[in-house]
Chains A and B, each alone.
Chain A
Amino acid sequence: MSALQTISSLIYLISAVCYVLGVHLMRSPKTARRGNGLSAVGMFLAVITIIVTIIVEGKIDPIGWVVLLVGLALGILYGVVKARKVPMTDVPQLVSLFNAVGGGAAATIGIFDYLLKGDGAALSVAFSLPVLLDVIIGGITFSGSLIATGKLSGHVSGKPISFPGARLLNVIVVLAILVSAYLMIGLPTNVWYVTLALVMSLVFGLLMTLPIGGADMPVVVSLLNAFTGLAVAFAGFVINNQVLIIAGALVGAAGTILTLQMADAMNRSVANILAGGFGTDDSDSGAAAADVPVDVKETSADDIGLQLAYAHSVMIVPGYGLAAAQAQHEVAELAKVLTDQGIVVNYAIHPVAGRMPGHMNVLLADVNVPYEQMKQLDDANPMFESTDVSLVIGANDVTNPLARESGNAISGMPILDVDKSKSVVVIKRSMSTGYAGVQNPLFAMDNTQMFFSDAKKGLQEIVAATKQYLA
């Protein structure tokens, strides 16, 4: 090793340590931001090291510099502007977009080195196998993540998309990928072999994500996050750079665990989600025309305002409908009106409330809801018995008492014990079922009242009514 190689390898090692410690610190809310900062420091060190390395080695030509610097500048500009402007409700699709470009970059590196090092000659398996894995996983992640972004942002229909012959097409594409693998590993390099591998993996990425419903997308995004990590690790094998291998493997493992935890919180298995076809859409308008059963009690904003004004303790149960209607400001305003009068207000947050685990906390933190008022499942459940009014906003499955019984789609799913509170008010657009497709007996209980409205509009009316009674 030259002196330069020694020093750069050691700095890469330090940056790898920064990533591991950074992720470790991100496990607690108190240190999470520092953890992300530490990981950014590691990234900064790695970038400085590679800049010094290519300057000292002096191999890069002027066009190479221009291409590199213009590409980086545009990328940084685009990434930072996107990240600064994105509303917190749209974070999942942004993460998915970043997965796409990460996977795309990894695939690009694999294609580049295959063509450069190969140059028509035969390659060793030790080189061509990582290239192959890099290109295939990177390609799948690229197209799959773009579809996931589209589904989450509504540019692509959230409904599971399938067509006749999809299964057969899947088989053909997988076979084509295997053929490209044989060509790339067994034969001298050829630009068409790697093109075949790339195109087929892009098609596979589409076929993999299109049949999956929008509500399951966050789990898919997390899985593709793990895929991107692996693609980056294989890119590290290709260019023989250990910091890529370490960081990529770290993300691959971390993403896998997160995916399993998310799927678990939704009471689904990853295999079941990937099979696709589950649920129709993630906006609960699907069955908007469903008849309102006679045995539910409807109420008005005015009556809810009255109940809230005379309550001692209120538990707000936010769900996906709140996030979809972007009603976090209204709910925070209502909570403020109540707390100003000495009424105890807390939020009961189910692990999968919002788009994905932890998303609701981010949305509420965004509108200055104090961290202490956000109660997680285990802390919230004992509080319901002493709660006067539970205000369920756009949540359904996570409050369904059927989960305690066996023999239905949500059996065994941890739920919020909303039904144990003295009075329950449900704000919901319609009687349609949640994405599990199960009727919710909570809505027909004696102490439950339904208020059919969009979360944002409904909350505005309730705030106005409550103020009137408190004045």
Chain B
Amino acid sequence: MSQELFTNLAIFVLSLLVGFEVMSKIPATLQTPMMSGANAIHGVVVVGAFVIAAEANSALFYVLAFLGAFFAAVNVAGGYTVTDRMLGMFDRKPAAKKGEAEQK
């Protein structure tokens, strides 16, 4: 096994453990926003979309790069927006003005 692969594998395994650790005992109230928040984080795949676009050099590769960029951008932009909207509702003070709820 190459050094590079070993390093990546170690990072992968340890990140899994961090994920398990940080997620235990989430109050039920927050499970929906938490799922959505985790969903936004895998939008980091957008970094990979940049990487492949930089290497594209033929029609097939341009198409793949376009799909990657489009898919990843939907995930990351939509994911953070909807999570923030949801959590903003918990943030609201009890006496919040009605306007905020109605603006959508």
Tell me the A residues contacting B by CB distance below 8 Å: 15-16, 19-20, 22-24, 26-29, 32-33, 35-37, 39-40, 43, 46-47, 50-51, 53-54, 57, 59-61, 63-65, 67-76, 78-80, 82-86, 88, 91-92, 94-95, 97-99, 101-102, 104-106, 108-109, 111-113, 115-116, 126, 221-222, 225, 228-229, 232-233, 235-258, 261-262, 265, 349, 351-352, 356-359, 361-362, 365-368, 370-372, 374, 376-377
Instruction: Evaluate contact between B66 and A67: CB separation under 8 angstroms.
Output: yes
Instruction: Evaluate contact between B48 and A241: CB separation under 8 angstroms.
Output: yes
Instruction: Evaluate contact between A258 and B66: CB separation under 8 angstroms.
Output: no
**Contacts A75-B73, A365-B90 hold; do A258 and B40 have CB atoms under 8 A apart?**
no
Main secondary structure of the interface of A (DSSP, over half): helix
Which residues of B have CB within 8 Å of A65? 53
Most buried by B among A74, A235, A243: A235
**Contacts A33-B91, A126-B5 hold; do A361 and B23 have CB atoms under 8 A apart?**
no
Q: Which of B45, B69, B81 contacts A102 (CB 8 A)?
A: B45
Complex formed: what's the CA distance from A37 to B81 in Å?
Answer: 10
**Contacts A20-B18, A71-B70 hold; do A248 and B44 have CB atoms under 8 A apart?**
yes
Complex formed: what's the CA distance from A359 to B19 in Å?
Answer: 22
Which residues of B have CB within 8 Å of A235? 45, 48
Which residues of B have CB within 8 Å of A86? 82
**Contacts A20-B22, A225-B39 hold; do A236 and B79 have CB atoms under 8 A apart?**
no
Instruction: Evaluate contact between B60 and A115: CB separation under 8 angstroms.
Output: yes
**Contacts A27-B27, A32-B30 hold; do A102 and B42 have CB atoms under 8 A apart?**
yes
Instruction: Evaluate contact between A113 and B52: CB separation under 8 angstroms.
Output: yes
Instruction: Evaluate contact between A368 and B44: CB separation under 8 angstroms.
Output: no
Complex formed: what's the CA distance from A371 to B32 in Å?
Answer: 16
Which 7 residue pairs across A and B have the least CB separation, nearest first?
A: A75-B73, A253-B19, A71-B69, A79-B78, A249-B15, A83-B81, A351-B28
Complex formed: what's the CA distance from A24 to B23 in Å?
Answer: 8
Instruction: Evaluate contact between B32 and A356: CB separation under 8 angstroms.
Output: yes
Instruction: Evaluate contact between A239 and B19: CB separation under 8 angstroms.
Output: no
CB contacts under 8 Å to A, within B71-86, are 71-86
Instruction: Evaluate contact between A239 and B51: CB separation under 8 angstroms.
Output: yes
B51 to chain A, nearest CB (A): 5
A189 to chain B, nearest CB (A): 13
Instruction: Evaluate contact between A376 and B35: CB separation under 8 angstroms.
Output: no
CB contacts under 8 Å to A, within B26-56, are 26-56
Number of residues from B at the complex interface, CB < 8 A: 87
B40 to chain A, nearest CB (A): 7
Q: Which of B35, B61, B68 contacts A258 (CB 8 A)?
A: B35
**Contacts A43-B44, A102-B42, A258-B26 hold; do A33 and B88 have CB atoms under 8 A apart?**
yes
CB contacts under 8 Å to A, within B1-20, are 1-2, 4-5, 8, 11-13, 15-20
Instruction: Evaluate contact between A67 and B62: CB separation under 8 angstroms.
Output: yes
Across the two chains, which residue of chain B brings its CB closest to A111? B64
Which residues of B have CB within 8 Å of A40? 40, 80, 84
Using A79-B74, A251-B19 as known contacts, list a sample of 17 further A-B pairs with CB atoms less than 8 Å apart, ordered by residue number in A. Answer: A32-B30, A35-B37, A43-B41, A59-B55, A63-B56, A64-B57, A67-B53, A71-B73, A84-B104, A94-B82, A109-B48, A115-B60, A229-B42, A237-B8, A241-B48, A253-B19, A371-B90
Across the two chains, which residue of chain B brings its CB closest to A54? B54
Q: Which of A64, A84, A113 contacts B62 (CB 8 A)?
A: A64
Complex formed: what's the CA distance from A318 to B60 in Å?
Answer: 52
**Contacts A112-B64, A257-B20, A358-B33 hold; do A72 and B101 have CB atoms under 8 A apart?**
no
**Contacts A84-B85, A233-B12 hold; do A253 and B75 have CB atoms under 8 A apart?**
no
Q: Which of A64, A92, A104, A221 contacts B67 (CB 8 A)?
A: A104
Which residues of A have CB within 8 Å of B66? 67-68, 70-71
Complex formed: what's the CA distance from A77 to B15 in Å?
Answer: 31
**Contacts A68-B49, A239-B51, A252-B19 hold; do A36 and B71 have CB atoms under 8 A apart?**
no
Which residues of A have CB within 8 Å of B64? 108, 111-112
Which residues of B have CB within 8 Å of A19? 41, 44
Which residues of B have CB within 8 Å of A265? 28
B56 to chain A, nearest CB (A): 5
Instruction: Evaluate contact between A75 and B71: CB separation under 8 angstroms.
Output: yes
Instruction: Evaluate contact between B30 and A64: CB separation under 8 angstroms.
Output: no
Sample of 6 A–B contacts (CB below 8 Å): A26-B37, A43-B40, A72-B70, A112-B56, A253-B17, A257-B20
